[in-house]
Chain A
Amino acid sequence: MDRGNNWDWEPGKREIGDLAAWSGRYDMVYAPCVSPDGENIAAIVKTGDDEWSVCVNGRTWDARFEKIWNLMFLPDNRLIAMVSDSAVWTVAIDGKTWDNWYEFVWSPVFGAESGRITVAAQAGLRYFAVTEDTPWANDFNALTSLTTTRDGQTSAAVVQHGSFPEADIDKFQEGYFTAALNGSAWDSCYVNAWEPELSEDGRHLAAAVRTSIYNYTIAIDGRTWDKTFSCVWEPKFNPKDNSVTAPVKVPDGWTIARNADPIWQGRYVQLWHHMYSPDGSRVAAIGAPEYGKWTIVENDRPWRIRFKDLVTDAVYSPAGDRIACVGKSDGKWHVALNDFIWDTPWDMAWQPVFSPDGRHAAALVEKDGKYTIAVNGRPADITFAAAWQPVFSPDGGRLLIKGVLPQSMGGQYCRYVLKTENVAG
């Protein structure tokens, strides 16, 4: 997959599509989205009575459908949507539908590095996943929490294996839920399974499980840890050695455990969404060292800063030496990087994006309905009516900004390439 090497990185502004003009051509235009390279903007459009299509850069797909939803560009710039005709559903990619149709398709997940797509599907009240038009070999009574690897080759989900009579509370507690990898369910079933997590190579699968209505633990490839807890959150594989860790609740608070043994000394009021640096040498989580005070905890050391409302969207830099996140206090949203909060508070902030060399971080932010990009804390001096997350060039020297200009400036969707040094704070 092209990771941006062949994109147009020439500094300047290019007008790609006139969204406002589309509104005159169609009865309805909605759910606009833009491609990773910024070269395309698409939206769902109404082309007739109960007839819908997709408009890309002003051109309408030839195909027409009864319903369309979930329009999105994949990392490889393909445009997909869930489409329905004669009350059955499939995936359309760049206007061409898959061969197989189902009673419903939803929950598209894709390999971040390949764009390979998998969706959840239902036919005859049986549930399974479909990858690039090939369904899993097995189907189940229910399926949820679909996920896939970065290469998109492996998919996994929580599945219900077998059925139990309605309102039969004893049967339910015998355990009917498990996880399935590429359609093969684990042999063991649990009262519940949640938050399936694949190892990077797709060879291992872990999930949070409840072995009785009181006991929570982590199962890896169908085998549980030998201790249970009063609660656990989603497990993660260490990319270095595929060992599995998870936040677990022990009597004096939350901590991180590997193989059911705490690996952190600290105990926290809350600890979740832990993540590994790409080389697996560091682990960080969103946590509350004190009640109602949120921060990032890295290798069991909390940052000094605290947010009153929440912390979300934590992300490691590619080299693993920096962490950025979004935090909220007193109703205002902030971006924080390595224990420092960027100056300006916002009405909303999206997950920060690092340059490949990790030197710069940029985030889509919004205030009073105006969107802009903040780079290393400094807001760019253009604002948009709508905008998408920015992308750094492979060498980090350029920044691609994708936004729809306000009506007062024409309302067009534009693609800007800026020199990072000119916008970075």
Chain B
Amino acid sequence: MKKQNNLNNTQNPGQIHDIGIKRGAGRLSREKIASVLEKLIETEGGARLSAYINTCVHCGLCSDACHHYLSRGCDPRFSPAGKVKQTVSTILAKKGKVSPEFIKRTCEIAFTECNLCRRCQLYCPFGIDISYLMLFIRRACHLLGVVPQYIQDTAHSHSATMNQMWVRDDEWIDTLQWQEEEARDEIPDLRIPIDKQGADIFYSVIGPEPKFRPQLIYQMAVIMHAAGADWTLPSAPGWDNSDMCMYTGDVEMTARLKKVHFEAAIGLKNKRIVMGECGHAFRSVYDVGNRLLGWKMPPLPTVHAISFYSELLEEGRIEIDHKFERPVTFHDPCNIVRGRGLHETARYIINRVCKTFIELEPNREHNFCCGAGGGVINCGPPFKTKRVESNKVKADQLAAAREKGAEVVIAPCHNCHGGLEEIIEHYELGMELMFLSDILYECIKKK
């Protein structure tokens, strides 16, 4: 039987046990909270914060944009403006004089009830960026030491290893060599070039690839080989382009991570950066981290894998051997579609490689978030039920495509995979999830 979204089963706000939130808030006093928040508002809450707060006319047009609100029976607590009211607006109205209990709830809202997907911004007549306001709250939570355990642990991993999965320097190199060895069984002269000075392409991935999905590195190596690309990966830290610190509010660590990533490419004299199929990493590298460091744009040309694949197809550098048979649908990741406008580029690839393409409705920049983005899935198992319940609209959207025949969901983003996997399983949708590289690997002529 299909699981329905029964709000009686819902993990009620504030009921979830997370030691990062609980212990963190337990160390707070009202005085400490007030002093941290007052300073934050004074030093970092500039014109943008007050413009957004003062401009909002509480019209509620943003509500129907939010999958949390729609999935939870239009509960106003989950509307974008409702989340702002419960958090930022209250803090500003009370000049930071709020209780540890309030901070706990605020933390849960900012970290687990908003994916920073920016869909609501599209529907707001004033373009108010709710994700900016939620990030402001996350920054406050970071400074107060109240952050969900699992995402904080990931931020710690970033700081200690410069990757998000506690991958040691030797494990990373060993994984590359192992994948090269595996791939040579299929393509004897394939190489995964490490530390190649002057290579055209610096290829970077996110921490979970060496840890859980090394086949994605294998597949990219096959695609690079088929395209005759001059590419490399670094042996030293800087290989991981991901960034959960951007989502915990630890902007100082975001800056450090991006410095290490860019300098790995600059030091190898590589001409441009191609990033694997990840959305949040792209936001961090292309939009957030570079600017924190004083760059208007990334210091080297930086493209997401979608742009790269499309370039290879357009220039005829890879050829399609056979089209992908099973009908596919496509989930537009927020950070590279609303964030970068790559929706048509993705469709170009799909139409070149797949026989039958069925659109999700809505799609492109109007697509609903996967429910994992913005670091929400990185808050881990305590919030799993809440996550899937907060995205019933995604399940409905996928089910509608399935009714039209779609068997495979393509999502060129790791976080989206995490979120969609949970939704497909929980709502028993029986659809298969794939990356674009899975499809390309299967369908291109391998040389």
Q: A160 at interface (Cβ–Cβ under 8 A)?
A: yes
Given known contacts A269-B294, A291-B296, A347-B271, A67 and B198 CB-to-CB distance under 8 angstroms: no
Q: Per-residue 0/1 for A224-235: is the Cβ within 8 Å of any B Cβ (1 yes, 0 no)?
A: 000000110000
Which residues of chain B from 183 to 202 have a CB within 8 Å of any chain A CB?
188-189, 191, 193-196, 198
In the complex, the answer to whether A230 meets B269 with C-beta atoms within 8 Å is no
**Chain A residue with minimal CB distance to B176?**
A69
Cα distance A103–B168 in the bound complex, in angstroms: 13
**Chain A residue with minimal CB distance to B20?**
A169
Q: B169 at interface (Cβ–Cβ under 8 A)?
A: yes
Q: A107 at interface (Cβ–Cβ under 8 A)?
A: yes
**Chain A residue with minimal CB distance to B184?**
A50
> Across the interface, which residues of B come within 8 angstroms of A70, CB to CB?
194-195, 235
Q: A270 at interface (Cβ–Cβ under 8 A)?
A: yes
Q: B255 at interface (Cβ–Cβ under 8 A)?
A: yes
Q: How many residues of B contact A (CB 8 A)?
A: 50
Q: Which of B69-77, B149-157, B434-442 contacts A (4 or more CB under 8 A)?
A: B149-157
In the complex, the answer to whether A104 meets B250 with C-beta atoms within 8 Å is no
> Across the interface, which residues of B come within 8 angstroms of A103, CB to CB?
170
Which residues of chain A from 281 to 300 have a CB within 8 Å of any chain B CB?
288, 291-292, 294
**Chain B residue with minimal CB distance to A371?**
B198
Q: Per-residue 0/1 for A293-309: is the Cβ within 8 Å of any B Cβ (1 yes, 0 no)?
A: 01000000000000011
> Across the interface, which residues of A come within 8 angstroms of B174, CB to CB?
104
> Across the interface, which residues of A come within 8 angstroms of B310, CB to CB?
none
Q: A244 at interface (Cβ–Cβ under 8 A)?
A: no
Cα distance A70–B170 in the bound complex, in angstroms: 13
**Chain A residue with minimal CB distance to B168?**
A142
Q: B14 at interface (Cβ–Cβ under 8 A)?
A: no
Q: A122 at interface (Cβ–Cβ under 8 A)?
A: yes
> Across the interface, which residues of A come within 8 angstroms of B156, CB to CB?
169, 172-173
> Across the interface, which residues of B come within 8 angstroms of A107, CB to CB?
169, 235-236
Main secondary structure of the interface of A (DSSP, over half): strand
> Across the interface, which residues of B come within 8 angstroms of A213, CB to CB?
142, 145, 159, 250
Cα distance A170–B145 in the bound complex, in angstroms: 10
Cα distance A120–B237 in the bound complex, in angstroms: 14
Q: A41 at interface (Cβ–Cβ under 8 A)?
A: no
In the complex, the answer to whether A310 meets B170 with C-beta atoms within 8 Å is no
Given known contacts A30-B191, A167-B153, A213-B250, A231 and B301 CB-to-CB distance under 8 angstroms: no
CB distance from B159 to the nearest CB of A (A): 5
Given known contacts A122-B170, A169-B153, A144 and B235 CB-to-CB distance under 8 angstroms: no
Q: B23 at interface (Cβ–Cβ under 8 A)?
A: yes
CB distance from A27 to the nearest CB of B (A): 7
Which residues of chain A from 111 to 139 have a CB within 8 Å of any chain B CB?
120, 122, 127
Q: A391 at interface (Cβ–Cβ under 8 A)?
A: no
Q: A186 at interface (Cβ–Cβ under 8 A)?
A: no
Query: Which of B161, B188, B235, B299 is the one whose CB lies under 8 Å from A310?
Result: B299
In the complex, the answer to whether B296 meets A160 with C-beta atoms within 8 Å is no
In the complex, the answer to whether A106 meets B170 with C-beta atoms within 8 Å is yes
Given known contacts A67-B177, A170-B23, A347-B271, A231 and B293 CB-to-CB distance under 8 angstroms: no
Cα distance A312–B267 in the bound complex, in angstroms: 8
> Across the interface, which residues of B come within 8 angstroms of A291, CB to CB?
294, 296
Cα distance A172–B296 in the bound complex, in angstroms: 34
Q: B295 at interface (Cβ–Cβ under 8 A)?
A: yes
CB distance from A80 to the nearest CB of B (A): 14
**Chain A residue with minimal CB distance to B173?**
A106
- The 8 lowest CB-CB distance pairs between A and B, nearest first, are A270-B294, A292-B296, A310-B299, A104-B170, A288-B294, A269-B294, A167-B153, A169-B152
- Additional 13 contacts, C-beta under 8 A, given A172-B160, A292-B296: A70-B195, A103-B170, A104-B173, A107-B236, A172-B153, A213-B250, A270-B293, A291-B296, A309-B297, A309-B300, A310-B266, A310-B299, A328-B299
Could you list 9 examples of A-B contacts with CB < 8 Å?
A: A31-B193, A167-B150, A167-B153, A169-B152, A170-B23, A291-B294, A292-B295, A294-B294, A310-B266
Task: Name B's A-contacting residues (CB within 8 A).
Answer: 19-20, 23, 43, 142-143, 145, 149-150, 152-153, 156, 159-161, 168-170, 173-174, 177, 181, 188-189, 191, 193-196, 198, 235-237, 250, 252, 255-256, 259, 266-267, 269, 271, 293-297, 299-301
